[in-house]
Amino acid sequence: MKKITLAIIGLMGLSVAAFAEDYTKYVDPMIGADNGGYAFPGATLPYGMVKLGPDCNNLTENAGWQVNTPVVGFTHTHLNGSGGGCKYGNISFMASTGEMNPADYASAYSDPVAKVGLFSINLDRYGVKARLSATRHAGFHEYIFPETDKANVFVDLGKFLASIEIQEFVGSEVTVLSDTEIQGYQRIRGGWNYSEAYTVYFYAKFDTPCESFGTWKDGKLYPGKASQSDENTKCGAYFTFNTKGHKTIRAKVGISYMGCNKARENAAEITSWDIEDTHMAAVNEWNDILSQVALEGGDETVKKIFYSSFYRVFMQPSDYIGENPKWISDEPYYGDYHAIWDTFRATHPMINLFRPTRGGEMVQSLVNIAEHDKFLPDARTSHWSGRTQGGSNADMLIADAFVKGVKGIDYEAALKCMLKSATVYPGDDERQYGRGGLPDYNSIGYVSAEYERGCSRTFEFSANDYAIATVAKGLGHNDIYEKYAEKSHSWENLWNPDIESMGFKGFAWPRHRDGSWLEDPNFTVFSSGSFEHQFYETFSWEMSFYVPHDMKTLVEKMGGVDEFTKRLDHYFNTPFPTKTDELLFYTKLVGMCQISNEPCFLAPSLYAYVGQPYKTAKIVRQILRDMYWAGGDGVPGNDDSGSMGAWYAFHTLGFYPNAGQDVYLISSPVFPKATLTFEDGKQLVITAKKASDKNIYIKSAKLNGQPLDRCWLRHSELVAGGTLEFEMTSKPTDWAKDGILPPSLSDEYNK
Amino acid sequence: MKKITLAIIGLMGLSVAAFAEDYTKYVDPMIGADNGGYAFPGATLPYGMVKLGPDCNNLTENAGWQVNTPVVGFTHTHLNGSGGGCKYGNISFMASTGEMNPADYASAYSDPVAKVGLFSINLDRYGVKARLSATRHAGFHEYIFPETDKANVFVDLGKFLASIEIQEFVGSEVTVLSDTEIQGYQRIRGGWNYSEAYTVYFYAKFDTPCESFGTWKDGKLYPGKASQSDENTKCGAYFTFNTKGHKTIRAKVGISYMGCNKARENAAEITSWDIEDTHMAAVNEWNDILSQVALEGGDETVKKIFYSSFYRVFMQPSDYIGENPKWISDEPYYGDYHAIWDTFRATHPMINLFRPTRGGEMVQSLVNIAEHDKFLPDARTSHWSGRTQGGSNADMLIADAFVKGVKGIDYEAALKCMLKSATVYPGDDERQYGRGGLPDYNSIGYVSAEYERGCSRTFEFSANDYAIATVAKGLGHNDIYEKYAEKSHSWENLWNPDIESMGFKGFAWPRHRDGSWLEDPNFTVFSSGSFEHQFYETFSWEMSFYVPHDMKTLVEKMGGVDEFTKRLDHYFNTPFPTKTDELLFYTKLVGMCQISNEPCFLAPSLYAYVGQPYKTAKIVRQILRDMYWAGGDGVPGNDDSGSMGAWYAFHTLGFYPNAGQDVYLISSPVFPKATLTFEDGKQLVITAKKASDKNIYIKSAKLNGQPLDRCWLRHSELVAGGTLEFEMTSKPTDWAKDGILPPSLSDEYNK
């Protein structure tokens, strides 16, 4: 009855040995896992629902892992790179030796090794080595014990990740079914998206019968008692083994959002008790994606950073097909959009480029979600939509898929959902979904300072409206196109020509409902904040560059090409002039550009709109070199579901998308040769003759042998396959200076 | 860790034999169960979470039961008297003989007998007698089979109630744990409140080991297979018994919203395999409430109608303490508010009068819900708030409890929740909770015709604002009091003095946002509709009487005492002048008064506001006599969670509350003597000398021996206990004509 949506697994259907190269060897899942990057270092498949990895005391790090901090358990659900409040960390398994003590079991660790599909670590307190792997819906646990008659493996249903914007415990149950089986669930609410309660069920099958077992509830141990019931209480269960002469205990743990029986079915995805079989299956599935980019020449360390970045792009959204506890539908069902405000810019465009079938499923799942759950979400985890950071940026995903010809999407239905966001006020839920401040936006043309995030919303809504216009035009709805093309000029209503800073005039500025501009001596073009602020995680200097759909008008507003260029130079080259604690915590700056956060993602590419791509090359190469490296702290900000990874990977290949538009802006290819294999098997060979750390400027370019004198490409030009040849040099060039500029709204529509 | 909130069980702590009388013998749960009354005829305790009763083909009746229609199962969750789309009907057990056939097993029935705490019926197709009883969280099933080697008892998790505004299936699982145990769950979404998916878990323990068992999934039988997993699929399980020489099969079925283990714990509430023990426990618990009114003299049939009505008042809201799968709280947790628009008028005031401890818990649970789930709900079932019919009428419950001194409520917190409804627009969710049309109401003073239900909302919001003012005043927040006292005049903004009908001038009327009145030849003072209409389930003639907090101003607006009285007479005595299909389906009329629905509930008592209580006596007695009787179709409309029951019970005792105010309006006591025992043991003896079907008018009254010359009472006057003596006569009297009128807003506050 349900459409079984098969991923395009195995471009060539071959085993790992058959890949020209094992690209997973270049992937270090630990890159970005420290210092606020929150990259998930554990075991998972592409889009895997189960992400099995270590959680450390005090369970406050977003992906669970925290260096130099005792391990408290291995949980099956994580987000990759999320910022803000923690989410998930469900169904915590752990090993110990000696008497079972549910109040104190965390262990110092040593020798953590993260590979694609395998995570291993020593639990030094117990002399236990733990190894973890994963299938799509199940985790493989292997614990190698010392010889003892008290080797414990246990599940603690009272553990989960919880920091600011806290997840709260709701309830749990556990049942020991036999001497090799435990099942139960954990129910949690809250987290960053203020989710209602969600329930994660599990079923664990061990390879070895336990010698004894027990359960606990509210911290009290019940040896021999097989089950605990839910009185909004925390419970757990343990198996004790005798490992004298039999040191390895293995468990397959199925996870489900439906029920325990479904979790049991999911556990059966693991068909062998050899962890290497599960590990190798993961390696194969990942290689299938990683091999779509074959890099040649260049630096091995840079290769490692590239593939680790590229890897993170495909971790999320998670494939929840068959795991929807909310409604029945034949449509695909994905979750862990966290958040589209982050991922629409680079993560999803990269998925659309390399895995359009998945990309289409993801967009169609959003349409299906909107049809069952009120609005297109900006973020969605634990089957719950919320929160919205700025605009209704799911619109950008839809437009991006549309202009790139992504199939599997009911675009008419999608347009309806976009229009709902654009017309129906979400009211009290204006942080949950839809467009906050909409009554202002649709009556006076901007979100006034009387609402929070007035400037961010207005600028993002304008881009979102262009996304609506784009899809409407393509579908032949000219009335809708005209209306939303006009609305996408709305950012101009918050353009205050009188604000001056550092010699530049005209900035995005908060405006009151009565039309007057905000006057507040404490509010400057550098002021920044979070949900309550007018500029969400950005500031006027930066936001003023965010008009991705009408750069032509923006350049004019800023005083023409020279003034615009000067201003963009200034932005990248002038130190942030006031104390940086006005910005957010993990901010890393290049000049005033917060490269650690998404609002600036497009900015380095904007020189394309004034025909000066060599400046893009310079700043992009600087960021790639200075802000990313092959270490735990090697990602400049929260990876944000592969956002940092996608930014890095695109620019390393030499181009970057203007999301929602059929436009890739060329930057500076890093590797001498990169062969891109698309989903349909077509190949694009990108060569960059003489490319090196010094030869970063494009001297000339050819597409399929024909000279290319513009600094941007269309999607069809990439995916058709063929050759894209660059010749690189160490000095700035005039290449593409006089080429056709990338398109702007005002080329096609003027109010 | 949780406050265990004990109900005041057992005023005297005595067994059934110790009650002066077994009042349950007067209760016929079948009264109102037919013909759209939707009274629940099955077994339940007061506020029982489990309501176990029969569901009939085609599962489209709101309480499950449908006369002359085959029985398809016995389910554990029901609402009493709900209208609109069906809700619940979860965990369906059934018996059959012969080969198990999950596609066809409904049976014609005979001899249905509904008693308090016991429902029995013959399943004629199989020669099986089924008997059902219930504890708070568990159902007792007894099936007396013919002698056969193929006696089946089974659970069908694909069955549930579903009509308009349909419940939809989401998923199910089942597991046969042993030859006497089955557990599983059913997940459903939708229904009248457009609920997200909810999960009902069960655990069944049989008294007899089965001979064989099996399960099914998607209609396919799997004999001997012990479990089925959830792929958004319908499944079930069966036990087959040999009943040769052992004809009775019993099962205890625990129900839970937490998990299967909790359901198992709940099943253990039933401690004996003798169904009479469970039945008698229910009888005792019900007698504890029913005995709070001891009627003497009068008609035995009327007594039966009275106690059956009184019984239905205490079925809902349901006590879900310990069964909250959404969040943890020390506060009480109730559900099945369905809907407060119906129940604030009479059901809750009756609970506050007789069971204020429960009443306080209910209100506090609403506050707790609002704190965790955005707004005070108007309706809430399956742990999901929605929909809102008119105003934010939870406000009325809070004010009602407040003025009556109900304890256990954090009134400051409650006021905050009321103020949220009054100030925060629910946006897209304006049918889910909060106040729809609020932007209009708070800017132009009424909800314009540009919104749906503009008139109903404006009139109800005005009353709600008075509720806010009442609580604010009592708490000493004079600024809030003043603001909301003023806002409670808002209904006047929709008073169109130019509308004329049948010689009366001035009516509630839809108004555009620009201030102009609706002009539409098809829209009349008799026009009525549902959610999309300006008058929700009422019409202008009727709504124009709904100003419960400021009858003095209304009387003035209508042209003074004489004109008002004439108009009210006209309303009760003039046949509805146009085709009644403009009204809703189950409408029964007394003149133009839709006595089958709540908007008119207060109308018969309004003569009190012009000192003419004899007219109230006349019309109330007429309605009691003509519109209620001791039959399945003996309730004039949907019972609506005891609303019809409470209306009947109040008026039979001789008074009726103006909800949210410290006012009971006297009508006409039916019985010569009624002894009311309040929760604290105090007793009020109401005597009505010479009361009879003819002597319906009050000639004189004394309260505690002192002459009472006003036709209304304060709560404190009732619950202090003592005597309330009436002398009745057959002719209209001038009693209370010149007494102090009940209070009106304009007595205390004029804008």
Per-residue pLDDT band for A10 (boundaries 50, 70, 90) equals: very low
pLDDT of residue B581: 59
Per-residue pLDDT band for B533 (boundaries 50, 70, 90) equals: very high
Contact B229 A327 (CB under 8 A): no
Average pLDDT, chain B: 95
pLDDT of residue B3: 40
Summarize pLDDT for B651-675 with one digit per residue, the tens.
Answer: 999 999 999 999 999 999 999 999 9
pLDDT of residue B134: 98
Contacts of B229 in chain A (CB under 8 A): 258-259, 261-262, 264-265
Summarize pLDDT for A195-219 with one digit per residue, the tens.
Answer: 999 999 999 999 999 999 999 999 9
Contacts of B439 in chain A (CB under 8 A): 439
pLDDT above 90: residue B12: no
Contact A173 B429 (CB under 8 A): no
Task: For A142, list phi and psi in degrees, rounded to 5.
Answer: -130, 125
Measure CB to CB from residue A197 to each of B2, B175, B327 and give the nearest one: B327
- B1 or B377: which leads in pLDDT: B377
Contacts of B427 in chain A (CB under 8 A): 424-430, 434
Nearest CA in chain A to B327: A170
Contact A173 B430 (CB under 8 A): no
- State both tokens at A252: 């397959």
Contact A430 B427 (CB under 8 A): yes
Measure CB to CB from residue B229 to each of A227, A261, A428 and give the nearest one: A261
Output the CA–CA distances (angstroms, integers) from residue B697 to B564, B595, B689, in the order listed.
21, 21, 11
Summarize pLDDT for A653-682 with one digit per residue, the tens.
Answer: 999 999 999 999 999 999 999 999 999 999
Contact B1 A218 (CB under 8 A): yes
Q: What share of chain A is helix, strand, coil (3-state, %, to 5)?
A: 30, 25, 45
Measure CB to CB from residue B258 to each of A230, A265, A324 and give the nearest one: A230
Strands A722-729 and A683-689: parallel
Contacts of B174 in chain A (CB under 8 A): 261
Substitution target from B260, B383, B425 for chain A, most A beta carbons within 10 A: B260
**Distance between A261 CA and the closest CA of chain B, angstroms:** 5
Contact A230 B185 (CB under 8 A): no
Nearest CA in chain B to A203: B229
Q: What secondary structure letter does DSSP report for A511?
A: B
Contacts of A171 in chain B (CB under 8 A): 258-259, 325, 328
pTM for the model stands at: 0.96
Contact A328 B428 (CB under 8 A): no
Per-residue pLDDT band for B577 (boundaries 50, 70, 90) equals: confident
Q: What is the mean pLDDT of residues A496-522?
A: 97
pLDDT above 60: residue A11: no
Measure CB to CB from residue A185 to each of B196, B259, B427 and give the nearest one: B259
Contacts of B258 in chain A (CB under 8 A): 171, 173, 229-232
Summarize pLDDT for B155-191 with one digit per residue, the tens.
Answer: 999 999 997 668 999 999 999 999 999 999 999 999 9
Quote the percentage of chain A above a pLDDT of 90: 92
Contact B231 A424 (CB under 8 A): no
Nearest CA in chain A to B328: A170
Closest by CA to B169, choosing from B124, B109, B118, B231, is B231
Contact B327 A187 (CB under 8 A): no
Contact A327 B197 (CB under 8 A): yes
Per-residue pLDDT band for B5 (boundaries 50, 70, 90) equals: very low
pLDDT of residue A548: 98
**Distance between A304 CA and the closest CA of chain B, angstroms:** 40
pLDDT of residue B582: 59
Measure CB to CB from residue B261 to each of A175, A258, A328 and give the nearest one: A175
Contact B426 A428 (CB under 8 A): yes
Closest by CA to A713, choosing from A664, A669, A676, is A664
Nearest CA in chain A to B196: A326
Size of interface A-B (CB pairs under 8 A): 139
Using CA atoms, how far apart are residues B29 and A562, in angstroms rounded to an integer? 85
Substitution target from A170, A229, A380, A443 for chain B, most B beta carbons within 10 A: A229
**Orientation of helix A411-423 relative to helix A478-487, angle to 10°:** 40
Q: Which secondary-structure segment (H or E) carries B319?
A: strand B318-319
**Orientation of helix A643-653 relative to helix A300-313, angle to 10°:** 130
Using CA atoms, how far apart are residues B201 and B266, in angstroms rounded to an integer? 11
Contact A168 B2 (CB under 8 A): no
DSSP-assigned letters across all residues of A122-150: EETTTTEEEEEEE-SSEEEEEEE--S-S-
**Distance between B101 CA and the closest CA of chain A, angstroms:** 22
Contact B232 A168 (CB under 8 A): no
Quote the percentage of chain B above a pLDDT of 70: 96
- B3 or B630: which leads in pLDDT: B630
Contact B428 A375 (CB under 8 A): yes
Contact A325 B259 (CB under 8 A): no
pLDDT above 70: residue B296: yes
**Distance between A413 CA and the closest CA of chain B, angstroms:** 19
Using CA atoms, how far apart are residues B592 and B528, in angstroms rounded to an integer? 12
Nearest CA in chain B to A175: B261
* Strand residue runs (E) in B330-379: 334-335
Contact B325 A374 (CB under 8 A): no
| In contact, A386 and A433? CB cutoff 8 Å | yes
Summarize pLDDT for A604-614 with one digit per residue, the tens.
Answer: 999 999 999 99
Substitution target from A169, A181, A186, A231 for chain B, most B beta carbons within 10 A: A231
Contact B262 A427 (CB under 8 A): no
Using CA atoms, how far apart are residues A433 and A427, in angstroms rounded to an integer? 10
Contact B430 A427 (CB under 8 A): yes
Per-residue pLDDT band for A3 (boundaries 50, 70, 90) equals: very low
Contacts of A370 in chain B (CB under 8 A): none
Contact B328 A168 (CB under 8 A): yes
Contact B325 A187 (CB under 8 A): yes
Contact A229 B259 (CB under 8 A): yes
**Distance between B537 CA and the closest CA of chain A, angstroms:** 26
| In contact, A250 and A141? CB cutoff 8 Å | yes
Nearest CA in chain B to A168: B327
Q: What is the mean pLDDT of residues A264-271?
A: 98
Substitution target from B172, B194, B216, B232 for chain A, most A beta carbons within 10 A: B232
Q: What secondary structure letter does DSSP report for A84?
A: S
Output the CA–CA distances (angstroms, integers) from residue A468 to A104, A115, A460, A494, A667, in the order listed.
54, 41, 12, 21, 28
Nearest CA in chain A to B428: A426
Measure CB to CB from residue A428 to each of B232, B259, B374 and give the nearest one: B374
Task: For B701, list phi and psi in degrees, rounded to 5.
Answer: -145, 145
Contacts of B392 in chain A (CB under 8 A): none
